[in-house]
Amino acid sequence: MCGIAMIRLLKPLDYYQKKYGTWEYGLQKMYLLMEKQHNRGQEGAGIATVKLDMPPGEEYISRK
């Protein structure tokens, strides 16, 4: 079976830097979600990011 986890940050990264002391807040939460998937027997995992409101010609999606 496959599982999907998603986190959408609604505020700019500066907000998370000020509130939590790191701009990596979303990455840390995604890591925890992926660990929970792994502990349920998932053998592989990946991550994709999508940037909204990007100007034409700019990279808006990446995957690892």
**DSSP secondary structure string for all residues of 8-31:** ---S-HHHHHHHHS-TTHHHHHHH
> Which residue type is seen at 7?
I
The answer, yes or no, to whether residue 2 has pLDDT greater than 90, is no
**Amino acid letter at 37?**
Q
Q: What is the pLDDT of residues 17-64, one digit of tens each?
A: 999 999 888 888 888 887 777 666 666 667 778 888 888 998 888 877
State pTM to two decimals: 0.56
Q: According to the model, what pLDDT value does residue 15 have? A: 93
